[in-house]
Structure 1
Amino acid sequence: MSKVKPFKLGFVDFATKDVGKLRNYYTEIMGYKFVEQDNEGKVYLSNGLDHHNIVISPCENNGVQSYGYQLDGQMSLEDVQKQLKAQGIDSSIKRDAKPGLSEFLELTDPAGNLLQLYLKMDEAAIGFGSSGILPFKLGHVAFHAENYAKTIDFYQEVLGFHFTDMIGPNLANFLTCNADHHVINIVKSNQTKLHHIAFQLKDASHHITSADYLVKNGYPILWGPSRHTAGHN
């Protein structure tokens, strides 16, 4: 029997009070390219391959609105929904509800994060950026999670993630759905919120030039470039 299996973190949808400011950061500093803006004011940005990797949504509060994961294609969304239902997990299939995605399955993890699972995404057809940091891809997200143990079980038992590492006893748990050391980092907390988002760079020299670029554009480096223990990033 096939199992639900994401194979990559596809996009992050940020809610923000200031769409213009965040759009400028991701286009002018990070080097993502503008794809389109929908009738709700949501801005879609791409690193040049997928239709979008970053979504910026107008909202009264700042935070993460949703995370998108691409599935391996071994199951239809209808079959995924049936499997989730058998485990007592509610979900809904949405069609033509988001640019670049003809359909996706929406559900909530035990921490309260909104997840959107999809099989394929339109290509951006805008080419790669030529200025800015220009990250290779979204690397991972780390989030504080209430219902810490249940959330870890959900990603392992329901979505097929694998445990790879941890920091301290029950402080932070590292999970992956592909060959990367981790795609998500779940941090124990009494409130769910974003801890950090990581972008993969090409090599060590890209780290150095990125740090220089940030400082020159008024974004101070808080720590690094360096390594941390889990995953030796």
Structure 2
Amino acid sequence: MTLPHLSMRATVGVASLVLAVAGTRVAAATPGFPGDPHRWLLRFVRRLVADLRTGETTAGWIVFGVVAVTVSVCHFVGIRAELYHTIAWWDLLTHSLGGIGVAGLAYLTHRGREVPVGSVWWVVPSVFAIGSGFEVYEFLFKSFWYDLTLRTYAVDTVVDLAVNTSGATLVAATVSVVESAGVGDSDESVTDDERQIDPRDPDESVDT
């Protein structure tokens, strides 16, 4: 008996890995990309703490924080209650919310007033790369695809990535419109605490 990972369905896992690498390269070449992805988690924590201290973009953190918690709850409830098998759109729900949540938190973490308007679009290929990486994780460590045909598994993966990326695109488009509308705003609203964080490298603070 052929092991699932050695069957033709392995092409989906390999393709996902290739897409993850390609998405990372595209993201790195997109204007505004913050660089050093291995430091994003630390930047996220420091930016969140700094913003909570100053009250900056509190509403944004709440909105995308709620989205992130919601998608996590939906995912684990879906697994425990087997909703992924009984509700056809449950997978679409979690992947779309996942794309929105990741894109929103990535933007809030790396936003900066010195970054040109419109450069937020780097979140789209970034989320695509992260989503592709998640598909690789599922191929290696999950078993739901063992009983799927190659066609079904491939279609499921493509739909997941499309929905993830659509969620990120929605966030990028919304932020781009909002930032474009505020191009003429005065920079006097920038607080001293916010200036302590380099918008190009939020994990570096002058005074902590």
Scaled by the length of structure 1, the TM-score of the pair is 0.26
Structure showing greater Rg: 2
Relative contact order (C-alpha < 8 Å, sep 6+): which is higher?
Answer: 2
Scaled by the length of structure 2, the TM-score of the pair is 0.28
**Greater helix share, 1 or 2?**
2
**Greater strand share, 1 or 2?**
1
